[in-house]
A = this chain, B = another copy of it.
Amino acid sequence: MNDLARLSLNQETIKQWSLPELVEGCVKAGVPGVGLWREPVQAYGVEAAAHLVRDAGLTVTTLCRGGFFTAIDPAEQRRALNDNRAAIDEAAALGTDTLVLVSGGLPAGSRDLYGARERVADALALLAPYAAERGVRLAIEPLHPMYASDRCVVSTLAQALDLAERFPAGEVGVVVDTYHLWWDDTVGDQITRAGAAGRIASFQLADWITPLPEGVLLGRGQLGEGSVDLRWFRERVEAAGYDGPIEVEIFNPELWARDGAEVLTEIADRYRTHVL
């Protein structure tokens, strides 16, 4: 029995690797899954990336990411919808069933969180059938509340589920990411709610460390070095019925400055120690 059988490496975690290096590194380390990002995939070529990953026997667990639906301007809304249709096509081409969505923040000058969230729902209504026809499920990712104004107006798993539940479970799910949700004392119940309805589309890991850097984007912790009880989360999503990939997604320049293979070995070790 391979104890890394469910592990997936999100590409951004070791972004110093090219796509071929990522594929080779995962195969060597026995990591069977990768989460990919649109920009490096597009740069390499979507079809070529799909072949590369498939030929290596790896599974694409998620494509990151679509979303950014909160614009008020109709032209911007149309651009976002078109861009998300392209993201869905790319996900289908890569053979992943999960497109991660970050909803977008408040438009400039707006203070209307409620209205922004409703525009997310409007966009989901237009995109979910398109995605479903291509075998792709949209996965709403709640981001930490510190991103609510400039990145993601969906801040809790409860909010993500409130949105997702307007649509069939096969079309819209949610992402459970420990970095964003660890502080919330209602998250256990919400994981149960998500799992019971088959809504957990992705389970992602990063640890929470401080001090946060300026801009608070690139300060995620390596597994086990921070405040998150990662094993509790893994057990909780499993108790809720989730047995899919466990994807490690850490944004941290210290990891990017190191040898990729060494970082991946460390991730696998810490996964065994702090997650399994």
Contact = CB atoms under 8 A, between A and B. Distances in A.
Interface stretch (A10-18, A30-38, A130-138, A140-148): A140-148
A226 interface: yes
Interface stretch (A63-71, A92-100, A212-220, A250-258): A212-220
Nearest to A149: B227
B208 A212 contact: no
A59 interface: no
A150 B144 CA distance: 16
B113 A146 contact: no
Contacts of A212: 146, 212, 214-216
Interface of A is mostly: loop
Contacts of A210: 149-150, 215
A185 interface: yes
Interface residues on A, range: 20 to 34
Contact of A145 (B112, B117, B146, B214): B146
A44 interface: no
A145 B146 CA distance: 8
29 contacts: A111-B227, A111-B228, A111-B229, A112-B229, A113-B185, A117-B185, A144-B146, A145-B145, A145-B183, A146-B146, A146-B212, A148-B182, A148-B183, A148-B227, A149-B183, A149-B208, A149-B209, A149-B210, A149-B226, A150-B211, A155-B184, A155-B185, A156-B184, A211-B215, A211-B216, A212-B212, A212-B214, A212-B216, A213-B214
Interface of A: 106, 110-114, 117, 144-146, 148-150, 155-156, 159, 182-185, 208-216, 226-229
